């Protein structure tokens, strides 16, 4: 039996890595198209670009592994069934439950590893990826001097150069509009000059000859000043395109592990309790004010209309305080629910490895004639269904229609339950769908293929 178990396990290894490679390729290509313009525009070096991709491989891997498990199961059992090896094993008294045992045990171990990865490794890599992308967005783009084109990449300056010597740093026909920290722009015009960077690449130096400076007096705008010069040096600081790496202690919900999320949810629960106590305190302390009579025996008489206006105003203020606290409680609970959704998602995605084994094995046996195409097609269909459950559940949980548990685990429960049902029916070699109803729903030209599967 050990030889059989090893044989079935080996049948899954190749399709698993094949499916993983295909899915990762698709996700990476989609990510490249998303960040390509940013990478090109910022002039990043190869090491930073590599960091961007490596850090973002984490969330791709969390999605790709469960789907690769489903692909490998469908393809492996489909191949065994196509070559009639399943039939031969069943004839020898080997049940389907024993055949599914090796990949099932492997999927449980893989699920445990993915649970650790999703809870401890993925949040840290997500945090680093977000910080790096923030630094990249803040990095100034690379720029080049161009003839007869305004250079606007430098904040506070607009530069126009009519002629540039491509073999040296000499320039001619220079116009610089300086608006940095000024109410009125200063215009610098020069016949010729040269341009260079400081050694650190962070300061641009214009050495200009035979020019003029035109500007308005900041304190007296009615005064206009014109200064002629034979030589003028202009320093423009902080224009380097060097990427500045930063650190951040702030973490989003996807950058926290379960322990950090539970601690934050505990703080939110404490805040909710405080708000509820504040509502009770406001209601109790203002109850007498709300119900006091408009007139008092010792107080001077008040016009009925004025007394009623005062009473309405006081009641409205109290109602506004209570409404504010209730809105705060609602927002806090919504945020706590969104945090718990992320916790359950980490483990639900990991357990999906086991769920896809349960549903993939019997479907692979039944769809034996499709090969790779059927394996990939069914995998895509199930994963789209699974992902739709996760996205819909997350939305419903954020709106507090359902709990975080049901939002993330309903897909595993439903698909896993369907997998167990199909597995039991397949083990007993009985049909799990009524062909009578299939004939009513499926067009005639497709009925033969579906009948072979069911």
Q: What pLDDT, on the 0 to 100 scale, is given for residue 36?
A: 82
For the ranges 229-243, 271-285, 335-349, 370-384, the lowest mean pLDDT is seen at 370-384
pLDDT digits (tens, 9 = 90+) for 211-248: 999 888 777 777 888 889 999 998 887 766 666 677 88
- Element (DSSP H or E) covering residue 205: strand 204-216
Mean pLDDT of 376-381: 73
* Average pLDDT value for the chain: 83
Contact yes or no for 421/400 (Cβ under 8 A): no
Q: What pLDDT, on the 0 to 100 scale, is given for residue 416?
A: 92
Residue bearing tokens 């990249």: 136
Mean pLDDT of 268-274: 90
What is the rounded distance in angstroms from the CA atom of residue 60 to the CA atom of residue 74? 21
pTM equals 0.74
- The residue that leads in pLDDT, 109 or 452, is 109
Query: If we measure between CA atoms, which residue out of 28, 72, 58, 110 comes closest to residue 379?
Result: 72
pLDDT digits (tens, 9 = 90+) for 324-355: 888 888 889 889 999 999 999 999 999 999 99
Q: What pLDDT, on the 0 to 100 scale, is given for residue 291?
A: 53
Predicted confidence (pLDDT) at residue 317 exceeds the cutoff of 80: no
Q: What pLDDT, on the 0 to 100 scale, is given for residue 31?
A: 92
Predicted confidence (pLDDT) at residue 371 exceeds the cutoff of 80: no
Confidence of residue 304 (pLDDT cuts 50, 70, 90): low
Q: What pLDDT, on the 0 to 100 scale, is given for residue 435?
A: 46
Residues near 240 by beta carbon (within 8 Å), at least 6 away in sequence: 140, 200, 201, 202, 203
What is the rounded distance in angstroms from the CA atom of residue 358 to the CA atom of residue 356? 5
pLDDT digits (tens, 9 = 90+) for 403-413: 999 999 999 99
Contact yes or no for 118/126 (Cβ under 8 A): no
């Amino acid at each position: 039996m050990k030889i059989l178990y090893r044989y079935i396990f080996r049948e899954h290894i190749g399709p698993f890595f094949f499916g993983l490679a295909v899915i990762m390729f698709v996700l990476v290509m989609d990510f490249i198209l998303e960040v390509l313009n940013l990478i090109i525009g910022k002039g990043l070096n190869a090491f930073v670009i590599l960091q961007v991709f490596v850090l973002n491989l984490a969330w791709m891997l969390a999605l790709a592994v469960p789907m690769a498990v489903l692909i490998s199961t469908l393809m492996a059992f489909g191949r065994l069934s196509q070559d009639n090896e399943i039939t031969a094993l069943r004839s020898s008294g080997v049940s389907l439950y024993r055949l599914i045992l090796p990949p099932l045990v492997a999927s449980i171990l893989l699920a445990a590893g993915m649970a650790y990865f999703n809870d401890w490794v993925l949040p840290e890599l997500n945090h680093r990826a977000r910080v790096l992308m923030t630094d990249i967005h803040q990095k100034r783009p690379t720029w080049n001097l161009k003839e007869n084109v305004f250079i606007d990449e430098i904040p506070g300056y607009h530069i126009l150069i009519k002629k540039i010597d491509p073999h040296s740093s000499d320039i001619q026909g220079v116009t610089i509009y300086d608006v940095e920290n000024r109410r009125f722009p200063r215009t610098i015009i020069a016949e010729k000059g040269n341009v260079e960077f400081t050694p650190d690449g962070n300061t641009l130096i214009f050495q200009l000859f035979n020019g003029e400076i035109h500007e308005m007096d900041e304190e007296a705008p009615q005064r206009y000043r014109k200064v002629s010069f034979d030589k003028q040096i202009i320093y423009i600081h902080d224009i380097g395109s060097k990427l500045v790496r930063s650190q951040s202690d702030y973490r989003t919900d996807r950058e926290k592990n379960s322990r950090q999320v539970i601690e934050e949810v505990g703080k939110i629960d404490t805040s909710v309790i405080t708000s509820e106590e504040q509502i009770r305190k406001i209601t109790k302390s203002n109850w007498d004010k709300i119900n006091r009579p408009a007139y008092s025996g010792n107080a001077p008489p008040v016009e009925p209309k004025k007394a009623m206006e005062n009473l309405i105003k006081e009641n409205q203020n109290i109602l506004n305080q209570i409404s504010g606290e209730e809105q705060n409680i609602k927002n806090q609970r919504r945020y706590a629910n969104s945090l718990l959704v992320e916790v359950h998602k980490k483990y639900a995605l990991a357990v999906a490895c086991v769920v896809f084994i349960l549903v993939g094995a019997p479907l692979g046996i039944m769809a034996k004639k499709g090969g790779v195409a059927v394996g990939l097609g069914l995998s895509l269909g199930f994963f789209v269904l699974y992902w739709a459950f996760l996205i819909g559940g997350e939305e419903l949980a954020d709106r507090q229609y359902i709990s975080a548990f049901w939002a993330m685990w309903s897909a595993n429960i439903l698909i896993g339950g369907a997998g167990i049902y199909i597995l039991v029916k397949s083990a007993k070699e009985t049909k799990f769908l009524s062909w009578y109803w299939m004939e009513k729903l499926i067009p005639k030209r497709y009925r033969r293929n579906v009948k072979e599967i069911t």
